[in-house]
Structure 1
Amino acid sequence: NRAQTASVFGQIIYPITSKFDATLGGRYQQIRKHTKVDYFSYELGHNPGAPAFSMDEKATFRTFLPKIALGYDITDELNIYAMYSKGYLAGGFNFYTTGGSREDNKFDAQTSDDYEIGVKGSYESFRFSTALFYMDIKGTHIFYTDPNNPNIYSTANADKSKSMGVEFEGVAKASKELDINLAASLLKTKYGDYINKDGTNNKGNKIEKNPEYKLSLGASYYAPMGIYTRLDGNMIGKTYFDAQNKLAQKSYFTADAKVGYLKDGFDVYFYVKNLTDKEYFSHIRDRASNVLITYGKGRTLGVGVRYSF
């Protein structure tokens, strides 16, 4: 597989009044993809001969992605905004294929109309932002196991789907040395008409690989002599791994820690990820005869050095 991307983009912000402004932006992009596959099936030790299936295909995906936003300063510390933008994921060809026509092995682009309203502000030592968003998705990229060959895992397009939610981020300076940060999100997704390759209808099911919620809370302490510590806790909500919503990872918690020394641009630190060595699934795939499970990373320790100038 090979892909080449070229794009041009720009944005202008026009102050309508001293408190009210409009943003207009756009991005034009072109993505060229080339996939070449030769599939052989032969007994070990024999001459492979001619490929059982070959595919040498190219496709070009072009799109213009507009962005329109309005912002209003309620006060010097508080701003509200509304935004519309276009989302895009290029299509392509499935690499692991064993037959069928060109169209059987190709999937189209995914597009979306994205709407967002939000508030950004600060109050004394507290800074925050929160947003509501809605995505109307067309040509949704879906991943499926071929019912005729469970070894084949392919990409295709469903019809429509929707995604909506709310996000919040905040940072509070509890003291000169202590910072506390919080981030939270709630997400609701839903397929429209989507008939799976085995004939089942997934309409109304949740889109796979999208946690129902995320919550993170962290604290950082910076001592005057340059020593610092950081502790983060992360809660990940229930996540489905198939469009039928049969395979899922229930909600789980992980924690990360970091201790370091920062002085005059020099930073040396020791870190631990997944402090409690929590066991969780990062991917689940149903292959009809069996289920393949990939576990997330366990406890990981490391040392880093960084210099900034």
Structure 2
Amino acid sequence: MFKTALILVSTTISLSSLAQSSDLESQEQSIEKIVVNGFKLKQTILETPNSVTVLSRELIKRANIEDLRDISKVAPNVSVNQIGQVGPTSISIRGIQSNPFVVNRVAVYVDGIPFRDPGTIQLNNIEQIEILRGPQSTLYGANVNAGIIIINSQAPDGEEGGQIGLKLKAFEGRSTEEVNGNIYANLNTNLSSIFNFQYEHGDSYVKNIASSIDEQGEINDLALSTRLRYQFNDDTQLNMIGIYNEIDAPGLYEQEFAPLDIDAYNALYAESFNAGLTVGDFEIANDAPKQTNSKEWALGLALEKDYDAGVFHVVSSYRNRDDESYGTDLDLTAAAFSAGGTQLKDTFWNLETRFNSADDEVVQWVIGLNYLYQKRTRKLSTLIGPGNIDDFSPAPEQRFDAKDTAIFGQVIYPLTDQLNMTFGLRHELASREIEQDAGELDLGALGVFGFPEVAQSEQDKTLIPKFSLSYVFDNELSVYTTMTKGYLPGNYNLVVAGNGADIANEFGSYDKEQLWSYEIGSKGYLFQNKLFFSVAAFYIDANTWQENRILTDAEGRVLSTNLISSDAAIKSQGLEAELSGYLTKKLSINLGFGYTDAQYKDYPFTSTQNLKGNSVYLIPKFDAYLGLIYRFTDHWYVQADLQAIGKTPLNPEGTAVRDMQYIGGLSAGYETDKWSVSINVENISNQRYAAGQAYQNFLFGDDGNFYAPLASPRMIGLAVKMTF
């Protein structure tokens, strides 16, 4: 592995030499010193002893990064999986995997508001995105075992005006239309604001040709946000954040599974269950009535006050999410057997106070308190035979409360002028409480699941340390090593409690997850700040690992996909390398490569099957990205990008595998200070590939096929924006 790392460093330097050969042209271009905010102390990217990818406003725009799922194509060793176009998003970093049924091991913070279970977060008017790899539990607590993503929208700065834009996309004979924009206003001499809006209407990219309610898939997506800044004086300011997202998707369930082998599927089901209908590349044939409605809103306050000794912060937020989604087709055909649905309500409170050292202090430090509260209610439901949305029958309500209370601190101590030591420590107290009412859930041919009355609670506390050493050479190059711990509290399984005493005893609860991560790396600026490179190697060891188990009957039919145990163990090792900057004054480059070898050290999948030695599923062996932007003039530009995704296992057994994929994109545009127009093509070759976990047929079991959510087809887009 480390030999490979040296080869990558050599490759980086060779690419950088290309910039040196064009030195006369590139003298006018240089990279700004990037400030990373994710470590809660003002550090440049060179000073941070951690692998970090920072996406600037310019790169976000040029690379067509429009929502959270697009981030993975420009950040090596970051994999974003989905279970449907409007469903939850699962993010994995460095082999530390997330899937739809295990809590996300990557938290997302949008303007300081935590999203521990992010959906399709729209990225409108974003100033900077930071992807911090490796556990960040010392500063952020649970749900950051793999890393963290910090999204900061543009802050109000006293300017007035705005933008309005229009986007059109065409794909597979279908289309979407989007209007977006932002308004900047000064409400008085102390109060400035930004209001962002975005509304998308159009077709889903997977079409349902057998809908029983004549809805083939439609999406109406509204995203609103605002930031207000009140400047009391030079030392004190208050930032206020508001976010509202609403999705109305008739004809879509949050989970959509298409057959991976279309020919085999059509041969088996076209005449027998699909009334002669055959599905195409981006089509499904499900009779189940489908409908998804999601509403989410959040409010955040951030008070910042400067003192001689440092800076005092109070950050608080409230977030509410209400989801209703119906129509998972258990037989995955046009026949009316059985379908499922979910009602989910979440409430989150987050409060943090911290005190930072002043920016000019030799010893940098932060100390703080954090409290996070989550309240969740959920109802599963089923429809047996034909019917409509109103005919779904709910199971008993499940209630879940989580409270995390922590005190944390971190100090950066200079051992010499160039050698810094970082030490951090967090004490976390996690409380979990669950309740379930008695009742039943009828799954038709799969049987009736009984739900007993349940009420349980537990507490767990842990210490989460971090230690780093970093050496900076003349403010141009740094080397570092970091050791840190990751942590997830234990919890309970509810849906299996009525499936028999043995299963209830074995899977009723699961223990906490702990891992250790070790990293070495280097980063720096080359050729008078024309290029920035970073390279890092890592090793991660988790002896207690929370993993999803899928119970099946003797015929291979899935009995439950919601079981979690803590009996597994994994190890992951690999590296990533990045290069960005200017090859000439007109040509810029973004290059990334990631390699991950993640394996199960232990995985008792069933009572008779252990998947020890299997690769961790949903983790590609490698991924790579190359993006080039060429500016002909101050107004005309063209961009080309290519992403390569290595072979990826799509289920724990490794029996469903996604082959290596190459995904290309092109865009060209013209822009002035007042308006811009661009044309872009994504997924040029129209690759059809799985975007998440694959399953056998839920009702029929092993029918010789696998079913998985699909990534988007070729998208041809036109975007126009006007500034006023």
Q: 2 CA distance for matches of 1:266 and 1:88?
A: 48
Q: 1 CA distance for matches of 2:603 and 2:443?
A: 39
Q: 2 CA distance for matches of 1:179 and 1:13?
A: 34
Contact 1:69 1:81 in 2 (8 A): yes
Shift of 1:194: 2.4
Match of 1:127 among 532, 546, 552: 532
- Report what 1:106 is aligned to: 509
Q: 1 CA distance for matches of 2:674 and 2:411?
A: 35
Shift of 1:129: 0.5
Moved more, 192-201 or 161-170: 192-201
Cα deviations by residue, 1:176-216 (Å, 9 ceiling, x for unpaired): 22211110011111211322214112222211111100111
- Report what 1:236 is aligned to: 645
Give the letter for the 1:297 counterpart.
Answer: S
Matches within 5 A, 1:6-21: 6-21=405-420
Give the letter for the 1:239 counterpart.
Answer: T
Q: 2 CA distance for matches of 1:43 and 1:139?
A: 33
Matches within 5 A, 1:151-170: 151-153=559-561, 154-170=563-579
- Report what 1:174 is aligned to: 583
Cα deviations by residue, 1:30-65 (Å, 9 ceiling, x for unpaired): 444444444514699xxx9x9643434444444332
- Report what 1:89 is aligned to: 488
Shift of 1:277: 1.7
Contact 1:171 1:180 in 2 (8 A): yes
Moved more, 27-36 or 242-251: 27-36
- Report what 1:296 is aligned to: 711
Contact 1:147 1:198 in 2 (8 A): no
| Matched-pair identity in % | 25
Cα deviations by residue, 1:124-177 (Å, 9 ceiling, x for unpaired): 122100011000112212222113461301221234221000110111411122
SS in 2 for 1:285: coil
SS in 1 for 2:610: coil
SS in 2 for 1:183: strand
- Report what 2:88 is aligned to: none
Matches within 5 A, 1:1-309: 1=376, 2=400, 3-38=402-437, 39-41=439-441, 52-97=451-496, 98-99=498-499, 100=501, 101=504, 104-124=507-527, 125-148=530-553, 150-153=558-561, 154-222=563-631, 224-260=633-669, 271-282=680-691, 283-286=693-696, 288-290=701-703, 291-301=706-716
Moved more, 234-243 or 95-104: 95-104
Moved more, 256-265 or 209-218: 256-265
Structure 1 residues 68, 177: CA separation in 2 closer, same or farther (over 3 Å shift)? same
Q: 1 CA distance for matches of 2:643 and 2:673?
A: 31
Contact 1:147 1:197 in 2 (8 A): no
Shift of 1:14: 1.0
Contact 1:257 1:272 in 2 (8 A): yes
Shift of 1:83: 0.5
Moved more, 126-135 or 26-35: 26-35
Whose helix fraction is larger, Structure 1's or Structure 2's?
Answer: 2
Give the letter for the 2:572 counterpart.
Answer: S
Whose strand fraction is larger, Structure 1's or Structure 2's?
Answer: 1
Contact 2:664 2:682 in 1 (8 A): yes
Moved more, 104-113 or 212-221: 104-113
Contact 1:271 1:302 in 2 (8 A): yes
Shift of 1:217: 0.7
Moved more, 17-26 or 112-121: 17-26
Structure 1 residues 203, 182: CA separation in 2 closer, same or farther (over 3 Å shift)? same
Cα deviations by residue, 1:243-293 (Å, 9 ceiling, x for unpaired): 322221111111234445555597765544323221111221245434432
Task: Compute the TM-score of the two structures, normalised by the length of structure 1.
Answer: 0.84
Give the letter for the 2:476 counterpart.
Answer: E
Moved more, 198-207 or 54-63: 54-63
The runs of 5 or more residues in structure 1 that have no matched partner are none
Q: 2 CA distance for matches of 1:295 and 1:69?
A: 40
Contact 2:682 2:714 in 1 (8 A): yes
Q: Cα RMSD (Å) of the superposition? A: 3.2
SS in 1 for 2:709: strand
Structure 1 residues 129, 52: CA separation in 2 closer, same or farther (over 3 Å shift)? closer
Q: 2 CA distance for matches of 1:53 and 1:303?
A: 54
Contact 1:254 1:274 in 2 (8 A): yes
Structure 1 residues 297, 37: CA separation in 2 closer, same or farther (over 3 Å shift)? farther
Give the letter for the 1:145 counterpart.
Answer: I
Task: Compute the TM-score of the two structures, normalised by the length of structure 2.
Answer: 0.38
Paired positions, count: 305
Shift of 1:84: 0.3
Q: 2 CA distance for matches of 1:203 and 1:132?
A: 24
